[in-house]
Structure 1
Amino acid sequence: MQLELIRIQSLYITGYDAPSLQCGVPEAAAAMDALRHVVGVDSIRSAMSAAFDYLHDHPDFNSFDRLTFITDYAMPVQLMLSNVEATHTVRALNTTAIYGARDAFKKETFTQGADITVDGRGDVIRNADNSAPKIGYDTALGRRLFFEKKLSGNRQRSCATCHLPEKHFTDGMPQNASLSGGFLPRNTPSLLYATYQYAQFWDGRAKSLEEQIDVVLHSPTEMGGTDDSIVARMQMPKAKVIRALAAYIRTLTPFNSPFDHYIEGDRTAMTSQQKHGFNIFMGKARCGSCHFAPLFNGLTPPLFNRTEFEILGVPLYSDLQHPVADTDRGRIAVFPITFYEGAFKTPTVRNAAATAPFMHHGNFSTMQQVIDFYNQGGVTPVMHQTLSSDTLGLDKGEQQALISFLEALVDGV
């Protein structure tokens, strides 16, 4: 039941299965109706009936108030269900895991990198001294190494050179400089919430943070290190360096944006325009059918254990009236099948409003350019394109509300 509730909140009401048909709300109502007929607790059945009534009485896809439905109807049902579940311990090393949690929109629902005990409501059970469970490795060492330039071959570059904390762990550039001259081929993504992905790099060629770190440390264009130089300069095994860096990156999950505060119960945390923007994001604009709430990345609900890749046909430059085809072939370099020609990982849009430029090559410098691209249904379709060529029909007010909501996803870091 918990998983079906997550499907209702993160998939059905977004129109995920058939975006063009806009039948997601009646589908969600049918799912809620089925749940209330099998639940065995009267109080939960009553709450599910209230949720069903709200869905049934507001079937229009574009005007449906998804934020009200989630906070006032779905989340209370999830809390009631979770109260009857037993405490359990899980293993979640190198993965994102979701449990029978209080609800899918609380950060405690997602844990990674440790043996963690959660109670029936999904709250992490703390140690006897009220300290939080450890992620598993030395995060303090990882933070020091993150700023250590001796890890690079020329002693001039650290992880923080391209992932600046004050810029939400990005660099604000379309592409950063390559150690071999010129520029790197792709935009530097934020490390915030990077742990909540099952594939790293834009093409998903690394399956863990550890693998991704190892690749970057040895890349002649990025860090230019060697096993010998890393061990000699750090006076520790390379594996310890990698584990510590990965442990630190796993702490970069603040969940303290205005949206998170709103979900936690502070109903003043978001403006009316931002709340309207959330409903646009999850509905008419179809953003939520690829950037799945609440992580707003490509991890697919309800288990959040698979990273999606999309073929959008984003042009090489920002000119949408005279588009030039992108030459980056994307994931096909990792999996040489035509289905992955031009495919790239769906990143989180948490903090996107603070991390321009956008897309895998940094070709859009403003959020308005990104919205213009999607609003017109992309540009000239490419082979196996997964982005619908339908226009979204967002008016200026809806576009501004969408931008305002994305600003509500910016963390204080």
Structure 2
Amino acid sequence: MTISNPKTDLNVFENYESEVRSYSRSFPTIFDKAKGYQLWDKNGNEYIDFFAGAGALNYGHNDDAMQQKLTEYIQRDGLLHSLDMATNPRAEFLQQFNEVILKPRDMDYKIMFPGPTGTNTVESALKIARKVTNREKVVTFTNAFHGMTIGALSVTGNAFKRHGAGIPLPYSMVMPFDDYMDHFDSLTYLEKMIDDDGSGVDLPAAVILETVQGEGGINAASFEWLKRVEELCRRRDILLIVDDVQAGCGRTGTFFSFEQAGISPDVICLSKSISGSGLPMAITLIKPEYDIWGPGEHNGTFRGNNLAFVTASEALNHWKTNEFSDSILNKSELFKKRLNQFVEEYPELQGKVQGRGLMLGISSEKEGLSGQLAQAAFERGLIIETSGPDDEVLKILPPLIIDEEGIEKGLDIIEESIKAVLGKEEAKV
């Protein structure tokens, strides 16, 4: 299937919107509606979604139950904006999250609403770690991405995004992520640097990490490596922060991406799909002994999005049994089987499949190839993006509710795109 060039007028965006826009360049059409794992543009062209709002739409577009709850709440004039005042939707979410997510996992955390975005929760995590320990430095890892505000950028690896800050980004130290270098034990190196009084490295306040690096290239840390990071933090009284903004809310198969590793972070950052509906929302989970904020010490005007609380509570119904989690892992196997076939059948890709759950990708050593594949896929009706420091990974991030038919259709488009791109390259030789 090939999408005809949509006759849409994109001049309004080119004329009036900042040059900073990006996704409207990658997907040059005007989208009109969406449902489940599909989108339609204003000309009626249909697209399968392997993007899921960069991970903000794990439960798909316009879930029926969430829509109904929103409609009912708005029609009865429910409070929309409330800062951090007490409201019924806020109370329901707090109770539901504790009963459905925390208690069954034997997890004890205080829930903080830091502001509506992922970078807000990361900022709050860095601040509380420094407040608790009275230390400044934070260990981060190569290819990490934690957000676009100054504190979050200081623990982000991407040079292009760091440069956008326009100022030095101190108070962090970068260490190699798991498997960053072949035959190199990154944690032995990190431990040596922290323990050695002659290394010039101060004892850090915290270690912050993603268990699967999303923007950094779908790099999945091994469970053994994650356990060793936790052990190091415990030995040296360093707080462990897990940024689960993109990898959480079921993306890797379990609600939290670190569950299978058996670790217990001191602080957990969640955003993107925590609202369930794509509405802005973020939470920071803090172990009670570290919740030493003074009232209003970290605040924000939009930390009381009641519409997001309404849909977030509804989304938690997916997690009352293991059925949803099991379905994610089963779908992951369907994806991995086919993606590995692509790599084997098309060696010109110079590809490797990586990731976990429904956070997957094909990494290619051929410069520019992944971007060409994403563009070819869009032309054929698939929304998909790239990631990695050089956009070398074709990033597969479908809504978790996608069915087998949608999976196969999307993968068929990827294979058609592979054939088209490789065929063009061969013709040029």
Q: TM-score, normalised by structure 1?
A: 0.30
| TM-score normalized by the length of structure 2 | 0.29
1 or 2 for the larger relative contact order (CA 8 Å, sep ≥6)? 2
